[in-house]
Structure 1
Amino acid sequence: MKSSDDEISFLLKKAIALSDLGRKIEAEALYLEVLDLDSDNFHAKNGLETLVSLSIPQWHFDMLADENRNKAFQKAIEEYVNKNSNVLDIGTGSGLLAMMAAKAGAKSVLGCEVNTDIAEVAEKVVAANGYQDRIRIVGRHSDRLKKGADFEEKFDVIIAEVLDTGGLGEGVLPSLRYAINNLAKSNATIIPSGISLKAVLIEAPKLQAVNPIREISGFDLSPFQQFRVSDTYKLINLKREPHKVLSDVFPLRSFDFKKLPKPTEFDAPDIEPLKINCTGEGQLHGVAFWFDMHMGPEDSYSSGPDGELVHWHQAIFFFENPIDVKKGQQINLETLYSDELIRFRLA
């Protein structure tokens, strides 16, 4: 018994060390070796679970728990998918939407998932639910699919739930451009059919203290700013985060996913000027924004603070230098649109 305990202890220490070095495959092998010796070993089970969780973003669980999001997709899929449909699910994740399509009667479903660890699990999920005869999971990006090698017939329906909290950050525009030009039939249905962005000027003192980082508790922490990703938006939950709204909600751009804009690079964004009137007095820290997700001509769902879609929350873009504003003051704002990012400037 002592020899076995010593061996398990040695293997666990080595697995932890390899995990810390980022050598995931070797660490997994050692944890499995421990479980061969002791099938109930908590440390080995916990180590394996931790390794898996590090490769899978935890927002997947929040997304799957968003019942209204799931119902919205299921309703649209049941409306547009039939027995003659070949369906492409871009960013299939767990395979949930692909299985909704199969259940709705799709002739075939191809699910693309760039994260190979998730793709492997999605295959198991599909098999566990008995849809492996109609759903195929591919562990790569949809822009690497080739007709003849990966599919025989172009797709009648494209499902693309590749939306982040700010709408565009997961690459929905370039993904759909490639899919429409190379993978879809000319009359293909896109689910969702588009998004409309909305925004509001905001004071958010708690988060602004570290966006950018300056003085904290009387100490200059500005050198720590090198670890912050600048000139991008962040997630905010306006239901929970202390804030003050400084304007009415105003519209940003809408995107029809069948009529996509031309590609726009980060360094050469499309700039749209806006004039926004302040409805209150305070310090303008940034712009909070969200999207309405359109599921055809009739149904839309919002990720806004009072919306149905809860897991996305909202996005916020902080200005590097906030300004004091008064009620009735007009703010000249520039919105910078690129394919995968929305930014703002005080003009």
Structure 2
Amino acid sequence: MTEKALRADADSEVPKWHFTMLRDLGRNAAIEAAIASCNVVGKTVVEIGTGAGLPAMLFAKYGAEKVFSCEMDERLADVAREVIRANNLQDRIAVIAKSSRQAILDGDLPSTPDVIFTETLDCGVVGEGYEVIAEDIRHLAGSNTVVLPERVHQFGVLCTDTQAFEKNSVATQCGFDLSGLNSFAQRSYFAVNKMLHDPKCVSATVLFREYDYLDPNALDAVEHRIIAHSSGLCHGMTSYFNAYFGKFVVTSRDPKSHWSTAFHPLQEPMPVESGRHYYLRGEKTGLIDLVSI
């Protein structure tokens, strides 16, 4: 291992979610079915986010002539190249150890490819660089380019969830006020274990945001008029997403999915009354606010 690689290895670890992601059978089956159904024979594909190389190899399996795949983590890029060579697909897949933005600037990617694919979604959709990736896709895409996923829908429900809220705040312990630490609390969203997460919903589920990589306004602030159907203390919003790869759906709602649940905390818990109307507002970072009407 080179000195540079040793430093990188010492500085950080490859996120462990790569293993659970690659074992997510529902995700993998939906992605393969989508690729198999969109006639990629002889086509040129740009992928953003190589990981271990599975989607790139699926494109090659179903007949893509050339796949250009960007992976900004050099260690993962090296692993993906090894995996691709082990599967004898190195002549049809080029792994570029750069972000898509840098690869565009360096002229490494074809303009107007036939297909652009990305699955860079965290539990709250935007945390893996959605905004920059969407800009890069708009830069590369032509009028006939197929973008996968074509859209992502994020659904949210207001909830009482003391356990989740307390993962992100502290008050008095051992007779001491520790609330000063709350200045470091996560204000947008964070992941909670869906197997341990049992929120009490105090509203109906709403389509919170629609994401479209080709729409430059997809991250504009949103506002929903929402009715509380139960009285109680609202701690925030729980959300999940559906990503639409043609007619096939990858969802974080499935209990077997590797994605955690996203919890969007209010800055302070807010009492809500059954039958009362509220405005639920959301920013592009996933931060929410709730205002009584």
Q: State the TM-score, normalized to the length of structure 2.
A: 0.89
Q: In the alignment, what sits opposite 1:178?
A: 136
2:216 to 253, 258, 261: 261
| Structure 1 unpaired stretches of 5+ | 1-23, 30-47, 265-269
What is the deviation of 1:52?
7.3
Question: CA contact under 8 A between 1:174 and 1:263: conserved in structure 2?
Answer: no
What is the deviation of 1:131?
0.6
2:277 to 330, 333, 340: 330
Deviations for 1:158-178, whole angstroms, at most 9, x for unmatched residues? 111111111122123431332
Separation in structure 2 between the aligned mates of residue 312 and residue 60 of structure 1, nearest angstrom? 11
Q: In the alignment, what sits opposite 1:211?
A: 168
Query: Residue type matched to 2:73 in 1?
Result: N
Higher RCO (C-alpha 8 Å, min separation 6) = 2
Q: In the alignment, what sits opposite 1:251?
A: 207
Aligned to 2:286, the other structure's residue is in SS state strand
Tell me: CA distance 1:261–1:27, structure 2 relative to 1, closer, same or farther (3 Å).
Answer: closer
Question: CA contact under 8 A between 1:248 and 1:279: conserved in structure 2?
Answer: yes
Separation in structure 1 between the aligned mates of residue 39 and residue 130 of structure 2, nearest angstrom? 21
Separation in structure 1 between the aligned mates of residue 98 and residue 196 of structure 2, nearest angstrom? 37
2:252 to 294, 300, 303: 303
Q: Which has the larger radius of gyration?
A: 1
What is the deviation of 1:187?
0.5
Tell me: CA distance 1:288–1:327, structure 2 relative to 1, closer, same or farther (3 Å).
Answer: same
What is the deviation of 1:261?
2.6
2:75 to 117, 120, 131: 117
Tell me: CA distance 1:302–1:217, structure 2 relative to 1, closer, same or farther (3 Å).
Answer: farther
1:198 to 155, 179, 187: 155
Separation in structure 2 between the aligned mates of residue 276 and residue 131 of structure 1, nearest angstrom? 51
What is the deviation of 1:153?
6.1
Q: In the alignment, what sits opposite 2:266?
A: 319
What is the deviation of 1:54?
3.5
Q: State the TM-score, normalized to the length of structure 1.
A: 0.76
What is the deviation of 1:330?
2.3
Separation in structure 1 between the aligned mates of residue 258 and residue 111 of structure 2, nearest angstrom? 35
Separation in structure 2 between the aligned mates of residue 89 and residue 27 of structure 1, nearest angstrom? 25
Establish whether residue 166 from structure 1 lines up as the match of residue 124 from structure 2: yes
Establish whether residue 100 from structure 1 lines up as the match of residue 58 from structure 2: yes
Separation in structure 1 between the aligned mates of residue 198 and residue 217 of structure 2, nearest angstrom? 38
Percent identity for Structure 1 against Structure 2: 30
Establish whether residue 289 from structure 1 lines up as the match of residue 239 from structure 2: yes
Q: In the alignment, what sits opposite 1:225?
A: 182
Tell me: CA distance 1:58–1:229, structure 2 relative to 1, closer, same or farther (3 Å).
Answer: farther
| Structure 2 unpaired stretches of 5+ | none
More helix by share: 1
Query: Residue type matched to 1:303 in 2?
Result: S
1:141 to 88, 94, 99: 99
Q: In the alignment, what sits opposite 1:9?
A: none
Tell me: CA distance 1:175–1:198, structure 2 relative to 1, closer, same or farther (3 Å).
Answer: same
What is the deviation of 1:218?
4.8
Question: CA contact under 8 A between 2:71 and 2:97: conserved in structure 1?
Answer: yes
Tell me: CA distance 1:205–1:61, structure 2 relative to 1, closer, same or farther (3 Å).
Answer: same
Query: Residue type matched to 1:317 in 2?
Result: H
Query: Residue type matched to 1:344 in 2?
Result: I
What is the deviation of 1:103?
0.7
Query: Residue type matched to 2:200 in 1?
Result: K
What is the deviation of 1:68?
0.6
Separation in structure 2 between the aligned mates of residue 242 and residue 215 of structure 1, nearest angstrom? 25
Separation in structure 1 between the aligned mates of residue 102 and residue 259 of structure 2, nearest angstrom? 28
What is the deviation of 1:345?
0.8
Query: Residue type matched to 1:299 in 2?
Result: F
Tell me: CA distance 1:254–1:137, structure 2 relative to 1, closer, same or farther (3 Å).
Answer: same
Aligned to 2:27, the other structure's residue is in SS state helix
Aligned to 1:144, the other structure's residue is in SS state helix
Question: CA contact under 8 A between 1:160 and 1:172: conserved in structure 2?
Answer: no
Separation in structure 1 between the aligned mates of residue 48 and residue 65 of structure 2, nearest angstrom? 17
Separation in structure 2 between the aligned mates of residue 331 and residue 286 of structure 1, nearest angstrom? 13
